[in-house]
Copies of this chain bind each other. A is one copy, B any other.
């Protein structure tokens, strides 16, 4: 890394939403554009991915659209996911990411599912099938611990007026559950996803080496003021106070190895954002490394880009990408340019007026704003 160029390995995004159908076909080829070669794919499709076969079918669709990207798949925690289902995956010969402390090489083509994602019911997009209580899943977690699957937590408690729980404290109120799960399953790898609060950073730091935390790009930049009336900055969990953002920045600047990139990039059609009831999600996939370099530099942590975006996540998960015969790198140059206004895609469908093609678009984070870094040699 010199003052005006950065050369790092391709990045890993340990939390991404790739959607389905036309949206998926637009999004997936853009993963590489952002400098990313490995993604950890969320299962909140319609219907949610609750069985290994579904995950493998989805994975095949994704690989067809981006053959050079490594897709790590997850299952949606629900009553359909039994200890038997977890073991079946194992008996099928799927390599695990068991926490034996060793970094092991896994060929992603042989990996079915790396983890299980838990959503509290109703807190975010397509979370209607989410869980209401963890204890009923303890047999599943025990099997996951034995088999080496990672538990990915959307760490929010549903809002509750009586208990003074709302979107601003839903994450903090969740943290005792994280601590309890870790105490009960100390060898289960747990990732608190998309942390937004100082309380979450402090909690994860206080727990053992089997507990990690993803941080998004946008939560390193936004506070509550930024989503007040700004639909494209509205996501769940919502961005919080300045001191919360500061805590996220500090743990990245510190280079803490259990805090790594998971963008939670969550594209929605523009018409479902710029409306009376906006969908929750920020879209960052096409510009992951340019955004991150710009933001990390703004708070003096550009030297942490490689660890945060390329190394810590893979080390925690114990995964490596399959050998492509060479070490792949991304080169960024300091070059001021403007984030695209929209990314278009085409929905083919039938309506009352007949068969037709509708053009939709997704507005990216920081649309039409200047950004300081550009990828000049990519994936």
Contacts and interface: CB of A to CB of B under 8 A. Distances in A.
Interface residues of A, number: 33
A164 interface: yes
Most buried by B among A164, A224, A229: A229
Contacts of A164: 241-243
A341 B242 CA distance: 37
A126 B161 CA distance: 33
Interface in A246-283: 273-280
A68 interface: no
Give this chain's copy count: 2
Given A164-B242, A164-B243, A225 B279 contact: no
A223 B165 CA distance: 10
Contacts of A161: 223, 242
Contacts of A273: 276
A231 interface: yes
Given A166-B225, A168-B224, A276-B363, 6 more contacts: A165-B242, A166-B241, A229-B231, A230-B277, A230-B278, A274-B274
Interface of A: 159-162, 164-169, 223-225, 227-232, 234, 238, 241-243, 273-280, 363
11 contacts: A160-B242, A168-B168, A168-B224, A227-B228, A227-B229, A229-B234, A230-B277, A230-B278, A231-B231, A231-B278, A274-B274
